[in-house]
């Protein structure tokens, strides 16, 4: 390696900067000192070139874009030693899960695109994560954290902790088992039995967390925070608790950029499903880097989808867009209360039908055009420093077929909403019927065995097509993020017989 990366972690809320040569932190050191601010550590650094090879581990391939690599060099590790460490951990992961970290497919979905009314082949593409380690994208995030823990070689006796009902828990259990680290998983009572069985087989300690009365927030997350306060290492996909988790997911964004360049593609729209927002936040970071350094020309419109069961991120996006719109037009914002919407739930939801999405899109385009203006930038600073005006836990217990995106709170919301506004993207609230229809369409037109959470971005694209926000001549990218565990179980059984 001739060039060495210049990397740091910067808090999006208070601006504190942590260099790779400085003290190690999981979260902003001001998080408990300056309340109300959106303290999330985000990677900041340069983009150095990297080749794309199908048989290369992405944590090796893109190492010069990773804070973990900069930290390794700052700790005296050579390039060769870093690569050997990654390869050793990767081999251990493969021994546990049967899969190693490799570039995941970016494939054309011609039949699915035709069913959605796209005018020509090559209009719809899928980033398929169902055969990633542990069956979803979540292991990318957690492997990124494990690299930091391995580089620092400290706190080996402290348990790792996570809150999750499915994919993130399985990913954490696989990576923790590979690294021979104890893991405590906080799960809800209705966790998928197949997931519970696999977690137990991987040696994870399970804590079942009941929702208590009118308790605000996800009980699993609250018990996870208690565990961290008691000394556990936050081994989670919440960027607010461990900013290092975002970096691992950024490798997927780097892959997309390299893949679309190799294929000569330029996407007009990107649609991603959001729960806690680790994936969306990671994509926001990697795509923003690519644009800032001229690797790609302009951002695709960055859209997110949540379900009627819970849509805290889209509520936050709506409120911030309304706040910005008022500032742009010199209007009074009104007296908003922290943690309380000025619209009734039915009024908020009514703004997300096909008839109103086109209007929402026009407002988004206007904000995009004014992105660099004082009203927009001042409003973003307000959002980062007064989090509770825009983001707070969902008020009722959420339910959906897409259970993997039912986080009561979108922990890393600010980076995602910022990129939505900057790119002219919008939020889509999908009905349960549309969530079901999307998976049915995916199963009928592709060979990807994704579950309802995994195909939720397709539900978002369906809504955008119905509202004519996405035109039939444009190109769109969706994410199939997680495998159907029942299908996976059948496949594993068949493989064991062979």
Select from 159, 162, 127, 165 the least CA-distant residue to 141. 162
**CATH code, 353:** 3.40.50.1100
Taking the C-alpha atoms of residue 92 and residue 238, their distance in angstroms, rounded to an integer, is 25
In this prediction, the residues of the chain whose per-residue pLDDT falls under 70 are: 1-5, 49-55, 154-155, 213-215, 492-498
Residue 34 covered by a domain: no
Select from 14, 12, 18 the least CA-distant residue to 35. 14
β-sheet bridge partners, residue 297 = none
Taking the C-alpha atoms of residue 170 and residue 147, their distance in angstroms, rounded to an integer, is 18
Residue 191 covered by a domain: no
pLDDT of residue 303: 98
Handedness of CA 442, 397, 357, 315 (dihedral sign): negative
pLDDT of residue 278: 94
CA distances from 335 to 11, 314, 332, 424, 484 (A): 28, 20, 9, 27, 45
pLDDT of residue 1: 46
Taking the C-alpha atoms of residue 164 and residue 398, their distance in angstroms, rounded to an integer, is 14
- What tokens were used for 458? 């397709």
Per the structure, the count of domains in the chain is 1
Taking the C-alpha atoms of residue 389 and residue 185, their distance in angstroms, rounded to an integer, is 31
Residue 167 covered by a domain: no
Residue 160 covered by a domain: no
Residue 142 covered by a domain: no
Taking the C-alpha atoms of residue 355 and residue 336, their distance in angstroms, rounded to an integer, is 27
Residue 26 covered by a domain: no
Select from 28, 19, 22, 25 the least CA-distant residue to 387. 28
pLDDT of residue 495: 65
Residue 402 dihedral angles phi and psi, to the nearest 5°: -85, 65
> Which domain, by its residues, includes 443?
106-134+245-489
Residue 306 covered by a domain: yes
Residue 139 covered by a domain: no
Taking the C-alpha atoms of residue 472 and residue 365, their distance in angstroms, rounded to an integer, is 19
Residue 115 dihedral angles phi and psi, to the nearest 5°: -65, -25
Residue 106 dihedral angles phi and psi, to the nearest 5°: -115, 105
- What tokens were used for 152? 């620092």
């Amino acid at each position: 390696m001739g060039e060495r990366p210049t990397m740091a972690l910067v808090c999006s809320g208070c601006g504190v900067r942590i260099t790779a040569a400085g003290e190690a932190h999981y979260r902003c050191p001001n998080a408990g000192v300056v309340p109300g601010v959106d303290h999330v550590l985000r990677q900041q650094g340069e983009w150095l070139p990297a080749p794309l090879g199908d048989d290369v581990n992405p944590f090796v391939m893109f190492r010069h874009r990773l804070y973990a690599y900069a930290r390794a060099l700052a700790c005296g590790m050579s390039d060769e030693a870093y690569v050997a460490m990654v390869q050793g951990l990767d081999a251990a992961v493969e021994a546990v899960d049967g899969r190693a970290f490799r570039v995941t497919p970016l494939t054309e979905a011609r039949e699915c695109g035709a069913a959605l009314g796209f005018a020509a082949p090559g209009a719809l593409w899928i980033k398929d994560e169902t055969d990633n380690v542990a069956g979803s994208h979540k292991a990318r995030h957690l492997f990124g954290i494990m690299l930091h823990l391995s580089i620092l070689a400290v706190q080996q006796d402290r348990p790792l902790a996570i809150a999750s009902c499915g994919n993130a828990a399985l990913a954490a259990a696989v990576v923790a088992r590979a690294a021979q680290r104890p893991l405590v998983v906080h799960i809800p009572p209705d966790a998928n039995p197949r997931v519970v069985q696999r977690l137990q087989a991987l040696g994870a300690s399970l804590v079942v967390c009941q929702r208590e009365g009118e308790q605000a927030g996800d009980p699993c997350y609250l018990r996870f925070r208690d565990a961290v306060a008691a000394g556990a290492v936050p081994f989670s996909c919440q960027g607010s608790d461990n900013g290092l988790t975002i970096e691992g997911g950024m490798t997927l964004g780097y892959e997309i950029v390299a893949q679309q360049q190799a294929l000569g593609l330029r996407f007009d729209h990107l649609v991603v499903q959001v729960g806690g927002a680790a994936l969306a936040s990671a994509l926001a970071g990697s795509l923003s880097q690519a644009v800032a350094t001229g690797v790609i020309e302009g951002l695709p419109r960055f859209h997110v989808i949540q379900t009627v069961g819970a849509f805290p991120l889209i509520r936050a996006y709506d409120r911030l867009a309304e706040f910005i719109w008022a500032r742009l037009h010199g209007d009074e914002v009104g007296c908003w209360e922290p943690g309380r919407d000025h619209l009734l739930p039915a009024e908020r939801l009514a703004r997300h039908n096909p008839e109103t999405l086109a209007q929402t899109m026009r407002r988004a385009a206007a904000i995009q055009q004014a992105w660099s203006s004082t009203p927009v930038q001042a409003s973003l600073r307000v959002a980062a420093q007064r989090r509770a005006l825009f983001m707070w836990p969902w008020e009722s217990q959420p339910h959906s077929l897409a259970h993997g995106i039912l986080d009561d709170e979108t922990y890393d919301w600010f980076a995602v909403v910022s990129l939505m506004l900057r790119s002219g993207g919008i939020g889509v609230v999908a009905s349960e019927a549309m969530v079901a229809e999307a998976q049915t369409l995916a199963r009928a037109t592709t060979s990807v065995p994704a579950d309802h959470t995994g195909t939720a971005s397709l539900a978002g694209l369906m809504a955008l097509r119905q509202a004519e926000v996405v035109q039939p001549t444009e190109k769109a990218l969706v994410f199939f993020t997680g495998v159907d565990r029942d299908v996976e179980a059948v496949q594993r059984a068949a493989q064991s017989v062979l």
